[in-house]
A and B are shown apart, each in its own frame.
Chain A
Amino acid sequence: MMMNRLICACVCGLASLFVAVKVASRHVRAADAPVTYAHQIAPILYKDCTTCHHPGGAGPFSLMAYADARRWGPQVLRVTQSRYMPPWLPEPGYGDFADNRRLSDSDLDLIRQWVSTGMAQGDLADAPAPPHYNATWELGTPDLVLKTARPYTLAASGTDVFRNFVLPYPLKQTHYIRAVEIRPGMPQIVHHANLLIDRTASFRRAHPNDWQDGVAGMELQVDAGSMFDPDSHFLFWKPDTPVLMEPEGMPWRLDPGNDLILNMHFKPSGKPETMQAEVGLYFTDRPPEKQPMLLQLEDDEALDIPAGARDFVVQDEMKLPVDVDVLGVYPHAHYLGKDLQGYAILPTGEKKWLIWIRNWDIDRQSVYRYRKPVFLPKKTVLHMRYTYDNSSTNIHNPNDPPVRVRAGNRSVDEMGHLWLQVLPVNQRLGGLDPRILLEQEWMQNKLRKNPKDTIALFNLAGAYMGEGDYQKAAATYQRELAVDSGDTRTLTALGVAYEKAGDSQQAVEAYQKAISLDSGSMDAQFDLGRLELNHDNVARAEEQFRAILRQTPDDASAHSGLGLALLKEQEPEAAQAEFDKALKLNPQDATGLDGSAQLAIASGNPAHAVDLLEDAVKQDGKDAEMREHLAMAYVQTNRFGDAATQLRAATTITPDDPMAHALLSQVLTTTGQLQDAILEQQKALQLNSNDADGWNNLGVLDAREGKTAEAREAFEHALRLEPNHAQARANLARLQASAGKF
């Protein structure tokens, strides 16, 4: 420990020395020596300006050479002194951000002196080597390049343009993304871009005729689907950051059927510009080890700004239910935003600033990532306080004379959002994803502002589902249906909640109501088919899956569901044909892989079953049931160690599942690890004490370990549960006959 601290101190010392020398070399000059381009100005430009201002870069002109700097010297002076450039809105001292682009006062002074004394060149041999900028992909050839469907031509003039381009993810496998590079095609006309993940392709479906040309709009909402899936990242492009690298262990995910949506802000250049954006994706095989989520503070309901109001305040606050590290922040408003504050009040009462922008400018908006994560303990209250200026003195006001402005997606509407990317830390929640608690708090906060917010109700119910509180989830879905009784997706989700709560009858009614309201409600039909299958109503299940396939023949899940129904109907060949169709449409279809594996085992080919199930587990390592099936396939191929590994993983994922513990106990028995086997069997019986077979098995294990009294008690327990349990009776008799030797 001491050694580490010593090394750390030395390294810090070296770093300080290096910085001191570097700074000195730039600034040391005779008192009367002029500031020159070579000595003082080129280093500033190369550090803070040329990332955009290079040939082909996003800046409107280059600042790479002395002639450039001289040509633009007066403008450089003006825009740096006013701090318009480099673009950096956060107030210093109110959040410690990575890639801080704010120029130091000493740099500003050097620029001022250089321009006022005639912009001397100096000896170019003393200038640093100019940086090199790639004209191609920064990280090399991406694993996948997505391109907008058609080129887009921006008109020569007019107001700024906000447009959304859909990039369907074409692959049939899930991939994790460690980095993305956004190439807007014509960076000079793009102010910024946001890349959103549309898990359900909802935006494309909502714009079937124009998504290929881009859809106008400053903001957009996408349907996140019915699953609680809060993994979310800031994927934000601005001119100086073409590549977004995720921190180690935090890749993001793309599934088959997902879309990416590029939300772009253009500024007309004076001539028509045609561009076609590209997104380069870099994959990693390693699934995320850390899963952040985005939280949003807002009060759009309160955004109703009278014409002429100069200091209209909108606030929101939210108490954290868990400890978090804040990784980044994205303040967002439209043209009337003036003063944007984000801060936290810790449980101690201490105020910790997250960001303060005193002079908001939508043209220079950005995501800001903290140099080090900002730790906020549980019970911290997050605050947003935005001030708007809807008077004619606000030069950004799009209306003359000012008019009443409310929340909305158009640029003449207003918005007030503070997004935070947080990573839950220090969690001991017994396997519960802490993001569920964050989601619940967030949605409850929204509902306090608008009790009839159907999206918040739906998301809150989804979070209860994630927590396993199905009764509460069903009640919340019902609450949403009281606002909008015709929402078939909510009815379907309600059916799932009832089903999970053990109320099959109510579940069937909910699914049937959804189907009656919309015969194209595939999810309801699928869930009804699955429920029928689980209750061995095989013919009715088959009917549902076939009904889906009549409407959407390429639905992989319906094919594999039908396969399972046929398997239960003892039609293995027809079942295999359906599994094959499912896997052809989606090679990762879990049911298709699992069903094919069952057939492979039945036909005496467990090795093939292992291949199929290993693939399934690789795609979704959190599916405990799939791991159990893989373990059973390993057992069939005498790979008991691998089977135990899978079952241990399954018990970690679902520690309350008695079956996983019981299976693990049996595998450990086979490998001779009797004490561990006893422990696992005991865990299984703690979770399900009515399992006569389990008590019998525990008795056998106790007897083999010489624990005669415990064995007798276990057999007798089994017989109390099932007096006719033949094996327990035989084992008890054998124990008595052998006088304790089993």
Chain B
Amino acid sequence: MGETMRQLCTIAMLLLGWVVAGQAQRYGVNLNGAPVTELVLPGKRVLVLFFAASDCPISNRYLPEMERLQHEFANRGAQFREVYPNPGDTTSVVRQHSTETGDATDIVIDREQSLVEMAHVTVTPEAAVFVRDGSGLHEVYRGRIDDRYLDLGSERPRAFHHDLENAIGAALGNKPVPQPGGPSVGCAIVTRQP
């Protein structure tokens, strides 16, 4: 059973294996409107992107959980970014939202939805985990944070399986990364109009 799982995880890693050039690229702007050119700071091996929307109730309910995970993993080599990809989430809207929620995570306004494209996410909240690989990043996990929401309107009283937490821990430990046990549930990311 353990062998089978390991094989499955490896296959999933290969499927998700997405190499991104890590240099000289722009990844949206921070809350001050300054371009973000470096997603992963030196010394960090793992990048966690948390895709959020200021007006999505499920996304907002996960902010404390993301804060918990950041607290748990930030000193172990993980870099956390909270990404706002929707057109309505301008810097001023997200700044206001961040003030209200007391959210201290590094925030990126993904104006061009380049991070959405890079991570292949479709809803908020959804997370992606990348591992630094030389000059690039390999995506090793994409999906739900945990199993509290199984569908819109289908919610557990509390989460039992912490998919993202397990994935980050595995990535930091150079172990096969377990994949999400179910779909991401939340609000569709609003497609940017050309």
Contacts and interface: CB of A to CB of B under 8 A. Distances in A.
Interface in A61-97: 61, 71-72, 74-75, 78-79, 82, 84-85
B153 A400 contact: no
Interface residues of B, number: 26
Contact of A395 (B57, B61, B63, B156): B156
Contacts of B158: 158-159, 398
B157 A160 contact: yes
Contacts of B154: 84, 395
Interface string B93-119: 000000011100000000000000000
Contact of A74 (B64, B101, B151, B188): B188
Q: Which of the four size classes fits the interface of chain A? A: 20 to 34
B187 interface: yes
A72 B124 CA distance: 13
Contacts of A271: 60, 63, 100-102
A265 B49 CA distance: 33
A60 interface: yes
A408 to B, nearest CB: 15
B55 interface: yes
From A72, A74, A269, A395, residue with most partner B Cβ within 10 Å: A395
Contact of B65 (A60, A78, A157, A397): A157
A112 B21 CA distance: 41
Contact of B153 (A72, A82, A269): A82
Contacts of B190: 71
Interface string A134-176: 0000000000000000000000111110000000000000000
Interface in B129-170: 150-158, 160
Interface string A329-365: 0000001000000000000000000000000010100
Nearest to B68: A157
B163 to A, nearest CB: 14
Contact of A60 (B57, B100, B153, B160): B57
Given A61-B55, A75-B187, A75-B188, A270 B63 contact: yes
A78 B63 contact: no
Contacts of B60: 269-271
A397 B147 CA distance: 13
A396 interface: yes
A291 interface: no
B75 to A, nearest CB: 22
A100 interface: no
Contact of A157 (B59, B64, B88, B102): B64
Contacts of A158: 158
Interface in B74-90: 88
Given A61-B55, A271-B102, A411 B157 contact: yes
24 contacts: A60-B57, A61-B55, A61-B57, A74-B188, A75-B152, A75-B188, A82-B153, A158-B158, A159-B157, A268-B61, A268-B64, A269-B60, A270-B60, A270-B61, A270-B63, A271-B102, A335-B157, A395-B150, A395-B156, A396-B155, A396-B157, A397-B156, A397-B157, A398-B157
Given A269-B61, A271-B101, A272-B102, 8 more contacts: A79-B153, A157-B63, A157-B65, A270-B63, A270-B101, A335-B157, A398-B156, A400-B160
